[in-house]
Amino acid sequence: GAVVSQHPSRVICKSGTSVKIECRSLDFQATTMFWYRQFPKQSLMLMATSNEGSKATYEQGVEKDKFLINHASLTLSTLTVTSAHPEDSSFYICSVYSGVGYEQYFGPGTRLTVT
Amino acid sequence: RKEVEQDPGPFNVPEGATVAFNCTYSNSASQSFFWYRQDCRKEPKLLMSVYSSGNEDGRFTAQLNRASQYISLLIRDSKLSDSATYLCVVNVGISNFGNEKLTFGTGTRLTIIP
């Protein structure tokens, strides 16, 4: 499957600061990437679909002005959590659509803790 | 009703036993189905896709029943390394760019006991 990296793997920040998370597709060009969030003991929830060269598509209930997504190249998408608050503390995971059988491959995730 | 429902478990099973997980989905128009496994504090990893005719990959067998909107995963001769959370994943709708959006169940936690 596709190799996907994320950076950073873990971040702790103070309330009110912004945090940028990078997602890279290392071995193929990804027109579409997905951003998910997972709270403890809950399932992954799709936040947005990131499309190269155009605006991201956000799921209902996800604030686009708070979670800024930039998919500037075929190998990189970034998610910026602006003015983070403790309730934003979660496991953020990106995925890449493989283009084969609708399978998605996931990055290792970024664990965000807002104090 | 949740879009994808799974028994959360936990399932505590002795090594070498056979274990089965079930999953139901609510959208009858769903076309693609998967089982992922997720280890503690890690990302999900694709275990296998689920095809209409059923499919097998080594000790793992997946079945799909479209009439009942039901998916199953069978693990035979379970190993300690099979301990993980197993996620049932179903496509729901089509994103603007023609790619499928996936909906995840909450997962079934499996622990294999030595």
Q: Do B2 and B104 form a contact (C-beta atoms < 8 A)?
A: no
Per-residue H/E/C for B44-90: EEEEEEECCCCEEECCEEEEEECCCCEEEEEECCCCHHHCEEEEEEE
Beta-carbon separation of A102 and B99 below 8 A? yes
Q: What residues in B contact A89, CB-CB < 8 Å?
A: none
- Residue-wise pLDDT for A49-105, tens only, equals 988 888 899 999 999 999 999 988 889 999 999 999 999 999 999 998 766 666 788
B34 to chain A: closest CA residue: A103
pLDDT grade, residue B95 (50/70/90)?
low
- Residue-wise pLDDT for B61-77, tens only, equals 999 999 999 999 999 99
- Residue-wise pLDDT for B18-40, tens only, equals 999 999 999 888 888 999 999 99
Q: What residues in B contact A93, CB-CB < 8 Å?
A: 43-44
Instruction: Average the pLDDT over B102-110 and give the result.
Output: 92
CA neighbor of A110 nearest in space, from A90, A88, A86, A96: A90
Q: In a mutagenesis test of the B interface, which of A103, A105, A113 is the best target, namely the one with the most B β-carbons within 10 Å?
A: A103
Report the first-to-last Cα separation within chain A, whole angstroms. Answer: 36
pLDDT score, position B94: 59
Instruction: Average the pLDDT over A44-53 and give the result.
Output: 89
Looking at the partner chain, which of B43, B99, B105 has a beta carbon nearest the beta carbon of A106? B43
Q: What residues in B contact A44, CB-CB < 8 Å?
A: 44, 87, 104
Looking at the partner chain, which of B32, B103, B105 has a beta carbon nearest the beta carbon of A102? B32
